[in-house]
């Protein structure tokens, strides 16, 4: 007998579950990719895995030639629009087109820079350049059908983002790291950025406290702490069979990873190394990174007879940096100013005992004498004493190393924190924005 299909009763009809599309977000970065900001790549790839549609724009081109980029970064370069790589003629034509098609955008933009805190001609000139970049970014967003802009850092790149939002009416969000933005609030237009942003992610409680300090209480609800992190499987403890020094009789290897700039305090580490060598301790120090202080650091090394004990590796990629960390007995980062250093997280995840300073968000990452050692910034004597303590006490090194990894896996676990970031983006972008429509 042939079965005749029957029409289901209306009460039996069920709708297919609707697929909710993830938000589309424009990311504006200062330089992408960059060796010193590998967390950009991890964050963007992570959000894409959660289903977000991310379009990236970078003010500056990559910090390395395309041929030296690893595949993941090279692929991102192909998908990224580079503002300063746009020819002058094309930029001028775009700006002319914006003026003709969107006169209100132009008017709002120029009004916005006049509303910025009073400043000299020099800063007004820079504000004008940022505005021109903002016109280009807003036009790019319009062409791509994007209406929300997210910016990492609170400096000049966020000033461009601020002007994009004010002139084009697109909603704006920020991830603030610090600490530079907190030192000169007017220079970075920090209060204006807090007011304009729909929401702000802070990488530490310290960071959030500084934004609260410079904003009215009715803006505090938009400040949310979302921590950075590392992938635990990428940074694992060194195998037991490796030749890690187990007593003060063996040479101890100190490793410092960070840009060679004044804020990182590497000069006092060299002074501490000189002091420890003079006291008869056997050690060597390896610096990974490059920057404006390199010549001065190398000159100090040579003039103080440290060349046989100090090595400068320069800027290294992710894998080569990890290889250097694998040789470390102690990781040292004697910073004068910081956000929350990812380099410390990586070392802690590898169970390397860490010595750092009591500045900004670092005490949230390292609890003194619990999962690392903290010393006052600038004190050569206390830095040397902390390193000496670890040189002489191998069991303490092991205990602090194990505790450091446990702490990082709990609070600075990138997959978990990316999940929190994705949820925060979804929740915040689901709420209506009060931004003007562009015209």
Residues 363-382: tens digit of each pLDDT: 999 999 999 999 999 999 99
CATH superfamily of 232-412: Glycogen Phosphorylase B; (3.40.50.2000)
Six token digits for residue 198:
């729909």
- Residue 439: what pLDDT? 63
What string of DSSP letters covers 242-270?
A: S----STTSPEEEEEES--SGGG-HHHHH
Six token digits for residue 261:
């700039």
- Residue 434: what pLDDT? 55
Domains 24-229+416-429 and 232-412 share a fold: yes
Q: At what angle do helices 394-411 and 380-392 cross, to 10 degrees?
A: 110
Q: What is the CA radius of gyration of the chain?
A: 25
Six token digits for residue 338:
């910081």
Q: Which of 322, 370, 367 is nearest to 347 (CA)?
A: 322
Q: How far apart are CA 185 and CA 215, in angstroms?
A: 11
Q: Which of 55, 61, 53 is nearest to 30 (CA)?
A: 61
The hierarchical CATH code for the domain 24-229+416-429 is: 3.40.50.2000
Domain extents in the chain? 24-229+416-429, 232-412
Six token digits for residue 34:
């960059």
What string of DSSP letters covers 315-358?
A: S--HHHHHHHHTT-SEEEE--SS-S--HHHHHHHHTT--EEEES
Q: Report the relative pairing of strands 373-375 and 24-31 from DSSP bridges.
A: unpaired
- Residue 9: what pLDDT? 45
- Residue 5: what pLDDT? 42
Q: Which of 123, 138, 140 is nearest to 187 (CA)?
A: 123
Q: Report the relative pairing of strands 24-31 and 148-152 from DSSP bridges.
A: parallel
Exposed/middle/buried for residue 103 (C-beta within 10 Å: 0-12, 13-18, 19+): exposed
Six token digits for residue 423:
């949820």
Report, as ranges of residue numbers, the positions in the chain whose pLDDT lies below 70: 1-20, 118, 240-249, 433-439
CB 180 within 8 A of CB 186: no
Q: Is 413 helix (H, G, I), strand (E, B) or coil?
A: strand
Q: 262-271, pLDDT tens digit by residue? A: 999 999 999 9
* Cis status of the peptide bond prior to 332, with omega within 30 of 0: no
Q: How far apart are CA 237 and CA 162, in angstroms?
A: 43
- Residue 436: what pLDDT? 47
CB 81 within 8 A of CB 60: no
Q: Which of 164, 167, 214 is nearest to 191 (CA)?
A: 214
Q: How far apart are CA 419 and CA 315, in angstroms?
A: 30
CB 310 within 8 A of CB 285: yes
Q: What are phi and psi of 355, to 5 degrees?
A: -120, 125
The dihedral region occupied by 24, where left means phi > 0, alpha psi between -120 and 50, and beta the remainder, is: beta
Q: How far apart are CA 396 and CA 196, in angstroms?
A: 48
- Residue 14: what pLDDT? 44
């Amino acid at each position: 007998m042939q079965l005749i299909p029957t029409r289901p009763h209306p009460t039996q009809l069920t709708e297919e579950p609707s697929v909710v599309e993830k938000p589309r977000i424009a990311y504006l970065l200062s330089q992408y990719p960059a060796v010193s900001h590998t967390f950009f790549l991890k964050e963007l790839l992570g959000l894409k895995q959660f289903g977000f549609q991310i379009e990236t724009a970078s003010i500056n081109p990559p910090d390395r030639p395309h041929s030296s980029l690893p595949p993941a970064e090279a692929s991102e370069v192909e998908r990224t629009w580079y503002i300063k790589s746009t020819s002058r003629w094309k930029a001028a034509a775009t700006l002319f087109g914006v003026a003709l098609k969107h006169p209100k955008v132009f008017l709002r933009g120029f009004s916005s820079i006049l509303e910025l805190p009073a400043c000299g001609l020099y800063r007004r000139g820079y504000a004008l350049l940022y505005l021109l970049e903002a016109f280009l970014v807003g036009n790019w967003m319009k062409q791509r059908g994007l209406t929300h802009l997210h910016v990492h850092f609170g400096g000049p790149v966020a000033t461009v983002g601020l002007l994009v939002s004010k002139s084009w009416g697109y909603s704006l969000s920020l991830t603030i790291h610090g600490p530079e933005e907190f030192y000169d609030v007017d220079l970075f237009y920090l209060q204006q950025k807090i007011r304009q942003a729909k929401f702000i992610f802070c990488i530490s409680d310290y960071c959030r406290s500084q934004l609260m300090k410079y904003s009215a209480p009715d803006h505090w609800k938009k400040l949310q702490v979302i921590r950075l992190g590392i992938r635990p499987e990428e940074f694992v403890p060194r195998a037991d069979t490796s030749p890690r020094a187990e007593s003060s009789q063996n040479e101890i290897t100190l490793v410092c990873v960070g840009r060679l700039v004044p804020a990182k305090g590497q000069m006092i580490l060299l002074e501490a190394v000189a002091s420890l060598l003079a006291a008869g301790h056997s050690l060597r120090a390896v610096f990974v990174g490059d920057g404006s202080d390199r010549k001065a650091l190398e000159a100090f090394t040579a003039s103080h007879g440290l060349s046989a004990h100090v090595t400068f590796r320069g800027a290294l990629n992710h894998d080569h940096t990890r290889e250097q960390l694998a040789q470390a007995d102690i990781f040292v980062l004697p910073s004068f100013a910081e956000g929350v250093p990812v380099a410390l997280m990586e070392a802690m995840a590898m169970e390397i005992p860490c010595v750092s300073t009591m500045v900004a968000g670092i005490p949230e990452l390292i609890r003194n004498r619990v999962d690392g050692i903290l010393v006052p910034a600038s004190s050569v004597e206390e830095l040397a004493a902390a390193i000496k303590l670890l040189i002489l006490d191998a069991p303490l090194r092991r205990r602090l190393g194990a505790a450091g990894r446990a702490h990082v896996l709990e609070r600075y676990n990138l997959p978990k924190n990316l999940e929190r970031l994705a949820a925060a983006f979804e929740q915040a972008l689901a709420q209506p924005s009060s931004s003007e429509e562009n015209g």
